[in-house]
Amino acid sequence: MSRFRSAVIALACTAVLLPMPLAAQRGGVRSYRGVADSLIRAATRDSAAYRRLGDLVDGFGHRQAGSASLESAIDWILGQMKGDGLENVRGEPVMVTNWVRGRESVDLVSPRHARLRMLGLGGSVGTREEGVTAPVLVVSSFAELERRKADAQGRIVLFDAPFTTYPETRHYRTDGAVAAAKVGAVATLIRSVAPFSIRSPHTGRLSYDSTVPPIPAAALSNEDAMMLHRMQDRGDSVVVTLRMNARRLPDARSRNVVAELVGREKPDEVVVLGGHIDSWDVGQGAMDDGGGAVAAWEAVRLMKVLGLRPRRTVRVVLWTNEENGLQGATGYRDQHRDAVGRHVMAMESDGGVFQPFGVNFVGSDAATRIVTQVGELLKPIGAGRVTRVKESPEADIGPLVDLGVPGIGLDVDGSRYFWYHHTDGDTLDKLDPAEMGRCVALMAVMAYVIADLPEPLPR
Ligand SMILES: [Zn+2]
């Protein structure tokens, strides 16, 4: 068969399949090939999603929960979504954590004077105005702290733990302050949770518990943490002054952004797709998670542009306050609790819109088989892999997954994600328009087919 002839046949197939949703009803997942190809073409033919993400992050900057920039960004998105012709566009109110960083610094005062690179951890208490000056005890792990706990009293404990995996290493960020307070430390520092650094500190949320008083906590750049460790190993007396003006204000009003394409046959059954619209107060939150939020929005917009209206409702949700409280996600679940049983699937992109390989899926055996078939439709863009996971693959869909909703997270090339995660370097340029387009295609095909299949995904 000549290349010319196969091209003609491919065109003919597309032309036959596109206007025939009824054929798709009878033919199973495979019969969505034409629709899937048209969504893939639309999502990858230009840089529309990337340009819109640029408008968002350059126009509003970071979007920390409680900030005016988050609420202005939400107002802008609601207006744009209405302009796109999406339906039932609204902001659903939620109260959110309102933690502000204020001025902050770490100064080395012995064995020499130097300003170190740092970021306070989200949720940390502040210090007195003059700061806290104390000798530093550097440890590599919680186990080493346990062995040296007699030395920790009255000191600032620095956890200089090398990055292994994010779920493992982030325990030093989330749990370090409690562990250090338990052994009498007056403050805690961590080496940033990152596999690579150009002296770029990484923030992120910490936890306190009720058993010990909260102590101030900050992340140093990896380079600075390693230097203090070397100084200690040489026998130097390492002393720093930590100053943090951080404080928690009363909870603030925010909104989850919601917009729909109402289903043509079963409008009460819903496929949710989204990302989180808030970010940390550093960088632009382009990667985490502006890209995921805009990709989900663009996926639904493209359905509208192509005149596709699935059997069930497709709902884009941009959750607020993922980073320091998850109140957007829990608020969404609470406000829609009566309808959770009619949520057919929930999907989130929150790992950066890098090259997608497929999806991580949590759900039943029968549902996994169907999602795997939908994955076949994404092989043309290298995004057909379906990996079954046991827990919710993303944070904001977690409250829905816990109530039995099948959940999908994007499986993307994560090799650079933690270089920029929660830093000043999380800016638009770290993302690639073509890779982002393929993430849009993946979200559009998954959401459309699952929303349109004759039967809901089996629980
Ligand atoms: Zn995120």
Q: 274 near 296, Cβ under 8 Å? A: yes
Q: Would you state the pLDDT for residue 27?
A: 66
Q: 87 near 230, Cβ under 8 Å? A: no
The CA 292 to ligand 1 mean position distance, Å, reads: 9
The CA 112 to ligand 1 mean position distance, Å, reads: 38
The CA 351 to ligand 1 mean position distance, Å, reads: 7
Residue 22 has pLDDT above 50, yes or no: no
Q: What confidence category does residue 21 fall into, taking pLDDT thresholds of 50, 70 and 90?
A: very low
How confident is the model over 185-220, as pLDDT tens digits?
Answer: 999 999 999 999 999 999 999 999 999 999 999 999
The CA 289 to ligand 1 mean position distance, Å, reads: 5
Q: Which residues are catalytic?
A: 322
CA–CA distance, 251 with 95 (Å, rounded to integer) = 6
Out of 20-24, 102-106, 201-205, 287-291, least confident range: 20-24
- DSSP code at position 122: B
Residue 11 has pLDDT above 60, yes or no: no
The residue with tokens 């406000």 is 335
- DSSP code at position 391: S
The CA 6 to ligand 1 mean position distance, Å, reads: 43
Residue 13 has pLDDT above 50, yes or no: no
- β-pairing verdict for 87-100 and 312-319: unpaired
Give backbone dihedrals phi and psi of 27, rounded to 5 degrees, phi first.
-90, 5
CA–CA distance, 131 with 105 (Å, rounded to integer) = 9
CA–CA distance, 121 with 245 (Å, rounded to integer) = 12
Q: Would you state the pLDDT for residue 38?
A: 98
Where residue 365 falls (left for φ over 0; alpha for ψ -120 to 50; beta otherwise) is: alpha
The CA 424 to ligand 1 mean position distance, Å, reads: 15
Residue 5 has pLDDT above 90, yes or no: no
The CA 330 to ligand 1 mean position distance, Å, reads: 15
The CA 276 to ligand 1 mean position distance, Å, reads: 7
How confident is the model over 358-407, as pLDDT tens digits?
Answer: 999 999 999 999 999 999 999 999 999 999 999 999 999 999 999 999 99
The CA 419 to ligand 1 mean position distance, Å, reads: 14
Single pTM value for the model: 0.93
Q: Would you state the pLDDT for residue 7?
A: 37
Which of helix, strand or coil describes residue 34?
Answer: helix
The CA 312 to ligand 1 mean position distance, Å, reads: 28
How confident is the model over 297-342, as pLDDT tens digits?
Answer: 999 999 999 999 999 999 999 999 999 999 999 999 999 999 999 9
Please write down the HEC assignment for all residues of 321-353.
Answer: CCCCCCHHHHHHHHHCHHHHHHEEEEEECCCCC
Taking the CA atoms of 56, 62, 64 and 70 in sequence, report the sign of the dihedral they define: negative
Q: 24 near 32, Cβ under 8 Å? A: yes
- The token pair at 211 is 């058993």
Taking the CA atoms of 293, 355, 438 and 345 in sequence, report the sign of the dihedral they define: negative
Q: Would you state the pLDDT for residue 209?
A: 96
Average pLDDT of the chain, as a whole number: 95
DSSP secondary structure letters along 69-97: HHHHHHHHHHHHHHHTT-EEEEEEEEEEE
